Structure 1
Amino acid sequence: MNSTFDITLLIALTIVAGIGAQVLADYLKVPGIVFLLLFGIGLGADGLDLLHPSLLGEGLEVIVSLSVALILFEGGLTLELRDLDRVSGSLRNLVTVGTLITLLGGGMAAHWLGEFPWSIAFLYASLVVVTGPTVITPLLKYVQVDRQVATLLEGEGVLIDPVGAILAVLVLDIILNGDADPWRVMLGLTLRLGIGAAIGAGGGWLLGTFLRRANFLSEDLKNLVVLAGLLGLYVLAQAIRSESGLMAAVVSGIVLGSLALPEERLLRRFKSQLTVLAVSVLFILLAADLSIASLVALGWGSVLAVLVLMTIVRPINVGICTWNSNLNWRQKLFMGWISPRGIVSASVASLFSILLTERGINGGDSIKALVFLTIIVTVVLQGLTAKSIVGWLGINATTATGALIVGSHPLSRLIARLFQERGELVAIVDTDPEACEKAEAEGLKVYRSSALDTSVLEEAGLASMGTFVTMTSNGEVNLVLAQRAMEEFKPPRTLAIFPRDPQKTAATNKAQVQQALIPEVPLKIWNKHLEEGEVKLGETVLRTAGFAFQQAHLQALIRSEDLIPLLLERDRQLQIVPASKTWQPGDRLIYLLYAPKPKLLKRLSGANTSSLTLEKLPEVEEVAVPASVLNTPLEGVQAES
């Protein structure tokens, strides 16, 4: 068997194992790195002995370097600058002060508990200051934590990687050359970060400008142009100053993502696929080269050092760096627990192990083993418990409260008041001065502006609200506004009142915009009923006993336009009723019931929608409904028993 075939087999088996691990992890809904580590170790020298990364020689270092650059570029490309701006203070602290806290805390833990020499202990700490987008991003997609926390963790993972990698190189340089001048260390760190940022910013802008003007290029070729440009920028930065290439990769991705290129969606998809492949290959190769004996040799002291890093150093880091932020204690507690280490720690530790061994310095294998132990413990413990902790703390993205409503009229103001009476943040956006004045007179927060202005939506607090709903009289405008908000802010629930049109419905499914209330809401009719005081605001709880019968009568009243469901409370969460919502026993339904008054009584009492109060009306199923109406199927409202 010749060496060429051995290398071919190595690469093919690595890719098959890596993608297989990702597929299995996706199926079982666990972080992919768990199975990547298991597959890599299982196929390595201490397992089935099928993978031998040493066959690649210096090529392994090249693969690691270019793959990490690609991973960090993709991380920068997917960062949302608007989101980062909202948490910029905390993010800056995590990348700067947080790095120092982890370096000091991790070094002391490795020295006192793991019994490493101070130099090796701080080298280990410099390797684990990073978290990394390769593990954070998939984990956040799985647990669906609220947006502010997700933004902070993703931003930290992307921006701290080059900082940590450069810091680790400087610490290694001190160990190898014995120069511990702190000013020289800070100068080296600043210089590398500055050169990388400058090359990344300039190169990213030039690359984006070229893509905008190169209309002759196909979409596929543009993706490859970006890949070639990234590699060129990385090599250029490395040639000018070693270890500055990672910063160039991150910044070029951020700049390119901020230019709003027409091909951005396809570009992100292409880079995301390459990143999955790069992560899969790297973790399999590096894990296959890991010695189980070196992990066992670390002893319980090293395990305690890792646990201290997770349970003491990280919470202190988050507590100090987010001290003046608007994060609540639940959000901070979750951030203090989540800090899994990823591919940058693994790859740099593997390279350092080789360099230390070549220079005859003890500790290379131990450093690599301790870093991999940190990766395994953090990924397994934090990855498998994150979803439960999010649910326990109540910081799911889907449990966000409050509502931003576009359109001020009697029905929308009534819904806004119901949210407000519940103690939830609510605001209305409208361009009509008179409609805005009416909302203000009812004690509602109003923004007189177009909902197309994202700065107004941001000022109104949409980023932290759970619901965005458009309720103007123009269904097509409602749909456009909802889709725009969905793309810009990604609220957990986006609804709109729009006509029942097959083409529009297909579009909304794609954009995840739900139809509000019921199909083809007769908005003008219900607003008129409200203005004339011909409605009653009621609630009912759908009981298990007789659920189907109770449901049928509700549907019949909706079909006859005598009742419109407004809000649904389930699991103590209040939501605007989507047209496609399935009802369940135990749901609390708040609705409007058409109750016309005699003309004389109407003139005497007047109409005052703000005086409507929630009352438990007689059971809805007791209302007489014609059999012909009951037997008509209703689209959009379904029973779930």
Structure 2
Amino acid sequence: MEEQLLVVLVVVAAAGMMGQWIAWRLGLPAIFVLLCLGLAIGPLSRLVVPEQDFGAMLDPMIGLAVGIIVFEGGLGLNFSELRRSGQGIRRLVGLGIPLSAGLTYIAAYYIGGFTWEVSILLASMLLITGPTVIQPLLRQAKVGMRAAAFLKWEGVLNDAIGAVLTVLVLEFILSTVATRDLTAPLIDTLVDLARGTAIAAFLGLGAGFLAAMLMRADRVPEFLKAPFVVTVVVCIYAGAHLIQHESGLIAVALFGITLANRDLPEIEDLRRFNDSLTVLLVSGLFVIIAATLEPEAFSEIGWREVLFLAALVLVVRPVATTVATMRSDMDWRERLFVGLIAPRGIVVAALATLVGSRLSQADLEGADRVLPVVFGAIILTVSLQGFLIGPLARALGLASTTRPSLVIVGSNPWTAALAQTLRRLGTPVLITDHSAEALQAAEADDISVHHGHILAPTEDAPEELKDLEYLLAATDDDAFNALICTRFASSIGQQRVFQLPYADHLDFGPEWRGRVAFGAGFTRESLLQRLKAGWRFRVCAPDDVWPQGDTDRAIAILRLLPNGDLTIASEETTATEPANAQVVIFEAPDSASIEDCKGDRRSSSPSS
């Protein structure tokens, strides 16, 4: 038995990570790939049978994992976003939830042909749009921060509210069926709702303020802070859940929101830890839940169920959000975007297994249709909207360009000339500097600039600064360059942060700096001297050659692929040069022109 469970855990973990990697590599929605892998290792191959393999541990394990996932979503919500998008968010939650629930009930009852009991349960479940699906899609599509804030806040709050509402409605329906009475179960449900919400708010807010106070007072050592926070999440989830089912999700969401807005110095470390943990949990949970499905269950989906799902995506959501946000501070593009994007995620999947099981035990009509319809909604919304979100956001002007952007820290004539060259190639470039005077030359050349400190961006900072993909630190302070690279390496990757070569007397370890660009000797002063002496940037086509290796005549700066991916030249970069990459070089004025070089078609590499 132990060996079997060990094999199951290994298979689930491997399938989860494989699914995430495949989704990243192919640019697919991760949840869609994970569902396919879950079906493959579950009902199709029987490698994993969750009900048998995990037994009584399955439901508590899923519940705790979902609690940690919802907490991570709350940890990413900052009140500064609420100040910018507050009216729209309040409308989406305050009016959007009842409107979505009401319209979903009508569609389920009249189009899907479900009983009123099942219809009201579907209405409470399918209003949930979880952050576990929303946030990866927003990152993938590079949606602007204001439009993303609407979906992020709605997703986290809907997760908690919808989960509690679903459990209370389930208990109400089961009590009604058992007693044949409406009044008493309704009163009990309202009392439970008030009690559960009050307890969850007390635990979530209280734990948030207490944990923040302890960490600020240095009562929790640094190495215990992340484990301490996760332990608190588990404890308050369990405490609230034992008093009122699923109210633990409200508690952990409030706990996360409270911590996120207490200005803790360690908040970024907590976010990174919980983000990694959430990726692992989401991967495993979707694989496990998909493995519980039986292909025969989908045979229950007929034409009425298909029409219901179509109405849910194409009518219910757009109408509910349009009406809810009418005369709000959201413009028509944001309203259209939010109305068409509402993927369902892990919380809906977990609730569906609970609801389907309880309804089947009560022998309620239509219980066998709940699970396939809910999973049909998950698969439909994730796959359709996962592929739609990027083109839709770009068409509405709510997303940045699809090409990766480069942020250059430090404004001087050399960085301005490099930015001009890359801009002509279609690569988005932003130069940031704390000196307004230093930025004047770049501004005069119509280059995107940011006046401020990159380590403390303001609310109105450019989108590129808050979601940068490549970084080149080129200030006159070598230690500051290293600090900037260290700060952003954990979020965008060590292979995407570069700094200019530093002085010989400094000895930064590779873990405390970025990759050294261009090779030793090409310091900021050296590059500026070369520029003053007449050196210029030039773009070499894939089949052009240049005086590679002769650093007295030219040096490679970066390589640029047709899709916009770039690699800054460095002795620490060992990537093979693709045949279709352009090379940006910095060359002396007496170097051969492109036309002079075209007689020799030898390959060239930007790595120095």
Question: Which TM class, normalised by the smaller chain length?
Answer: 0.7 to 0.9
Distance 1:151 1:620 in 2: 47
Match 2:16 to one of 22, 33, 37: 22
Partner of 1:630: none
* 1:231 and 2:205 aligned: no
Match 2:126 to one of 128, 132, 139: 128
Shift of the alpha carbon at 1:593?
3.9
Query: Structure 1's 301 and 517: CA in aligned 2 closer, same or farther, altered over 3 A?
Result: farther
What does 1:309-458 align with in structure 2 at a 5 Å threshold? Answer: 309-314=312-317, 339-357=342-360, 359=362, 361-379=364-382, 385=387, 399-400=402-403, 404-418=407-421, 428-432=431-435, 434-436=437-439, 438=441, 449-455=452-458, 458=461
Shift of the alpha carbon at 1:185?
8.6
What does 1:425-574 align with in structure 2 at a 5 Å threshold? Answer: 428-432=431-435, 434-436=437-439, 438=441, 449-455=452-458, 458=461, 462-463=465-466, 468-484=471-487, 494-499=497-502, 504=508, 506-507=510-511, 513-516=514-517, 519-528=520-529, 530-531=531-532, 534-535=533-534, 537=536, 539-544=538-543, 547=544, 550-551=545-546, 553=547, 555-557=548-550, 559-560=551-552, 562-563=553-554, 570-571=561-562, 573=564
Shift of the alpha carbon at 1:302?
0.7
Shift of the alpha carbon at 1:471?
1.9
Contact 2:172/2:186, CA 8 A, preserved across alignment: no
Partner of 2:26: none
Partner of 1:628: none
Query: Structure 1's 368 and 592: CA in aligned 2 closer, same or farther, altered over 3 A?
Result: closer
Query: Structure 1's 523 and 238: CA in aligned 2 closer, same or farther, altered over 3 A?
Result: closer
Shift of the alpha carbon at 1:594?
3.2
1:583-618 Cα deviation digits (max 9, x unpaired):
55555555554338xxxxxxxxxxxxxxxxxxxx96
1:12-32 Cα deviation digits (max 9, x unpaired):
675455335325434644532
Distance 1:65 1:55 in 2: 14
Query: Structure 1's 186 and 480: CA in aligned 2 closer, same or farther, altered over 3 A?
Result: farther
Equivalent residue letter for 2:589: A
1:129-183 Cα deviation digits (max 9, x unpaired):
2233444556677x57457477665554433210211232344455454359999
Query: Structure 1's 10 and 63: CA in aligned 2 closer, same or farther, altered over 3 A?
Result: farther
Distance 1:466 1:216 in 2: 33
Distance 2:491 2:460 in 1: 10
1:439-466 Cα deviation digits (max 9, x unpaired):
5566666665544433288268622666
Equivalent residue letter for 1:68: V
Contact 1:419/1:425, CA 8 A, preserved across alignment: yes
**More deviation in 486-495 or 106-115?**
486-495
1:337-383 Cα deviation digits (max 9, x unpaired):
66443332233233333444555543333223322332344455566
Partner of 2:299: 296
Distance 1:426 1:278 in 2: 34
1:189-236 Cα deviation digits (max 9, x unpaired):
6775465234212202323433565768694x6655444422332244
Query: Structure 1's 207 and 136: CA in aligned 2 closer, same or farther, altered over 3 A?
Result: same
* 1:619 and 2:593 aligned: yes
Distance 2:593 2:480 in 1: 37
Query: Structure 1's 619 and 319: CA in aligned 2 closer, same or farther, altered over 3 A?
Result: farther
SS at match of 1:252: helix
Query: Structure 1's 38 and 436: CA in aligned 2 closer, same or farther, altered over 3 A?
Result: closer
Partner of 1:638: 607
TM-score (structure 2 length as normaliser) = 0.74
Query: Structure 1's 317 and 527: CA in aligned 2 closer, same or farther, altered over 3 A?
Result: farther
Distance 2:272 2:75 in 1: 7
Contact 2:72/2:274, CA 8 A, preserved across alignment: no
SS at match of 1:458: coil
SS at match of 1:473: coil
Contact 1:306/1:374, CA 8 A, preserved across alignment: yes
Query: Structure 1's 306 and 154: CA in aligned 2 closer, same or farther, altered over 3 A?
Result: same
Distance 2:11 2:585 in 1: 55
SS at match of 2:461: helix
Contact 1:286/1:347, CA 8 A, preserved across alignment: no
1:70-126 Cα deviation digits (max 9, x unpaired):
332244345677677766665555444443454244333323332113442232122
Query: Structure 1's 382 and 11: CA in aligned 2 closer, same or farther, altered over 3 A?
Result: farther
Contact 1:542/1:584, CA 8 A, preserved across alignment: no
SS at match of 1:469: strand
Distance 2:22 2:116 in 1: 41
Query: Structure 1's 139 and 34: CA in aligned 2 closer, same or farther, altered over 3 A?
Result: farther
Equivalent residue letter for 2:252: A
Q: How much is the aligned-residue C-alpha RMSD, in angstroms?
A: 5.2
Distance 1:49 1:469 in 2: 47
SS at match of 2:37: helix
Match 1:70 to one of 64, 68, 71: 68
Equivalent residue letter for 2:124: S
Distance 2:560 2:290 in 1: 50
Equivalent residue letter for 1:284: I
Equivalent residue letter for 1:34: C
Query: Structure 1's 380 and 18: CA in aligned 2 closer, same or farther, altered over 3 A?
Result: farther
SS at match of 1:347: helix
SS at match of 1:71: helix
**More deviation in 416-425 or 338-347?**
416-425
Query: Structure 1's 582 and 207: CA in aligned 2 closer, same or farther, altered over 3 A?
Result: same
Query: Structure 1's 92 and 583: CA in aligned 2 closer, same or farther, altered over 3 A?
Result: farther
Contact 1:103/1:129, CA 8 A, preserved across alignment: yes
Distance 1:170 1:120 in 2: 13
Distance 2:438 2:383 in 1: 54
Contact 2:142/2:390, CA 8 A, preserved across alignment: no
Query: Structure 1's 575 and 234: CA in aligned 2 closer, same or farther, altered over 3 A?
Result: closer
SS at match of 1:234: helix
SS at match of 2:127: coil
Equivalent residue letter for 1:169: V
Match 1:249 to one of 252, 266, 276: 252
SS at match of 1:595: coil
Shift of the alpha carbon at 1:472?
1.8
Equivalent residue letter for 2:305: S
Distance 2:69 2:540 in 1: 51
Contact 1:405/1:429, CA 8 A, preserved across alignment: yes
Larger Rg: 1
Gaps of 5+ in 1: 597-616, 624-633
Contact 2:103/2:320, CA 8 A, preserved across alignment: no
Gaps of 5+ in 2: 24-29, 177-181, 598-603
Shift of the alpha carbon at 1:495?
3.9
Distance 1:26 1:249 in 2: 25
Distance 1:276 1:258 in 2: 25
Shift of the alpha carbon at 1:247?
0.7
1:230-270 Cα deviation digits (max 9, x unpaired):
23322443466554221101222343455646597479647
* 1:41 and 2:43 aligned: yes
Contact 1:400/1:465, CA 8 A, preserved across alignment: no
SS at match of 1:115: coil
Contact 2:8/2:53, CA 8 A, preserved across alignment: no
Contact 1:536/1:593, CA 8 A, preserved across alignment: yes
Partner of 1:631: none
**More deviation in 498-507 or 393-402?**
393-402
TM-score (structure 1 length as normaliser) = 0.71
